[in-house]
Amino acid sequence: MSFKQIVNGLVKELCEEIKKDENSEMLKEEILNPIIKEVIIQVYPYFFKAMIIFMVVFIMLITIIILNLNIIYYK
């Protein structure tokens, strides 16, 4: 038996075990959900700062457009 065959057999068995409902629920609850929560906690400040910057740029853009329209129509 070659190493490749052993690895393929292990991967197939692992996939079958993961597909079982009780194992997939355990993976979701004990591994995936905590990882996702931690990632969200770590990324949240950057997302919040990016949204603030986007809002400031959007407000500045609207202000510039309004000022330009005032200059054009009242000239």
Give ∠ CA 17-21-27 in degrees, rounded to 5: 70
Write the pLDDT tens digit of every residue in 44-58: 999 999 999 999 999
Question: Mean of the pLDDT values across residues 34-47?
Answer: 95
pTM for the model: 0.58
Q: What percentage of the chain exceeds 70 in pLDDT?
A: 99
Domain boundaries, the chain: 3-73
